[in-house]
Amino acid sequence: MKKNILVGLGMISLLALGACGNSDTQSSGNTDGKTVGVLQLVKHGSLDASYEGFKEGLAENGYKEGENLTITYQNAQNNQDNLKSMSEKLVKEKPNLLLAIATPAAQSLLNETTDIPITVTAVTDLTEAKLVSSDEAPGGNVTGTTDMVPIDKQIQLLLSIVPDAKTIGIMYNNGETNSKIQAELAEKALKKAGVKVKVLTANSTNDVQQVTTSLAKDVDGIYIPTDNTFASAAPVVGEVAKETKTPVVAGSVEQVEDGGLATFGIDYHALGKQTGEIAAKILDGKAEPATYPVESANEFKLIVNEEMAKALGIDPNSIKEPK
Specify the pLDDT at position 5: 39
C-alpha–C-alpha distance, residues 318 and 54, integer Å:
34
CATH number for the domain running over 24-147+268-297: 3.40.50.2300
* Domain edges within the chain: 24-147+268-297, 151-266+301-318
Model confidence pLDDT, tens digit, residues 38-90: 999 999 999 999 999 999 999 999 999 999 999 999 999 999 999 999 999 99
Confidence band of 19 (pLDDT split at 50, 70, 90):
very low
pTM: 0.83
Q: How many angstroms from the chain centroid is the CA of residue 284?
A: 26
Q: Tell which wins on pLDDT, 320 or 299.
A: 320
CATH number for the domain running over 151-266+301-318: 3.40.50.2300
Specify the pLDDT at position 26: 58
Confidence band of 31 (pLDDT split at 50, 70, 90):
very low
- Judge whether 24-147+268-297 and 151-266+301-318 match in fold: yes
Q: In the predicted model, what is the mean pLDDT of residues 31-37? A: 84
Q: Across the chain, where does the E strand assignment appear?
A: 25-28, 34-40, 69-75, 97-101, 118-123, 142-146, 167-172, 196-201, 221-224, 248-250, 262-266, 300-304
**Own/partner long-range contacts of 203-210 (Cβ < 8 Å, ≥24 apart):** 203/173, 203/174, 203/175, 203/229, 204/173, 204/229, 205/229, 205/232, 205/233, 205/236, 208/233, 208/236, 208/237, 209/233, 209/236, 209/240
Specify the pLDDT at position 298: 87
Residue 28 has a CB neighbour count (10 Å cut-off) of: 11
Percent of the chain with pLDDT over 70: 90
Model confidence pLDDT, tens digit, residues 223-270: 999 999 999 999 999 999 999 999 999 998 999 999 999 999 988 999
Length of the chain: 323
- Residue 24 pLDDT > 80: no
Sort 235 into a burial class: Cβ within 10 Å, 0-12 / 13-18 / 19+. exposed
C-alpha–C-alpha distance, residues 199 and 192, integer Å:
16
Confidence band of 95 (pLDDT split at 50, 70, 90):
very high
Residues 145/275, Cβ–Cβ less than 8 Å = yes
Specify the pLDDT at position 32: 60
Model confidence pLDDT, tens digit, residues 99-135: 999 999 999 999 999 999 999 999 999 999 999 999 9
- Cross-strand pairs, 49: none
- Cross-strand pairs, 119: 99, 143
Specify the pLDDT at position 82: 97
Task: Calculate the alpha carbon distances from 29 to 26, 70, 300 in Å.
Answer: 10, 4, 33
Rounded to the nearest integer, the mean pLDDT of the chain is: 91
Model confidence pLDDT, tens digit, residues 149-181: 999 999 999 999 999 999 999 999 999 988 999
**Angle at alpha carbon of residue 103, lines to 50 and 74, rounded to 5°:** 60
Residues 247/162, Cβ–Cβ less than 8 Å = yes
